[in-house]
Amino acid sequence: MPTSARSVEKYILAKDGNRPDLLRQCFTSDATLEMVVRTGTISFPPHVSGRTGIADILVRRFGQCYENVYTFCLGEPPNAGTTTHTCKWLVGMSVKATGELRVGCGEYHWRFLPTSGLATHLCITIEHMQACVAQDLESVINWLQSLNYPWCLSSDLICTAPHISNIDQIVEYLKA
- Mean model confidence pLDDT for the chain: 94
As a whole number, mean pLDDT of residues 122-132 equals 96
Would you state the pLDDT for residue 155? Answer: 94
Can you say whether the dihedral through the CA atoms of 76, 125, 63, 66 is positive or negative? negative
Residue 113: CA atoms inside 13 Å, Cβ hemisphere, count?
A: 15
- The yes-or-no verdict on residue 154 having pLDDT over 80 is yes
pLDDT one-digit tens code per residue, 4-25: 999 999 999 999 999 999 999 9
- The yes-or-no verdict on residue 62 having pLDDT over 90 is yes
Domains of the chain: 4-175 (3.10.450.50)
Would you state the pLDDT for residue 2? Answer: 65
Burial class (CB in 10 A: 0-12, 13-18, 19+), 123: middle
* Cβ contact 129:161 at 8 Å: no
Provide the CA 42 distance to its chain's centre, in angstroms: 14
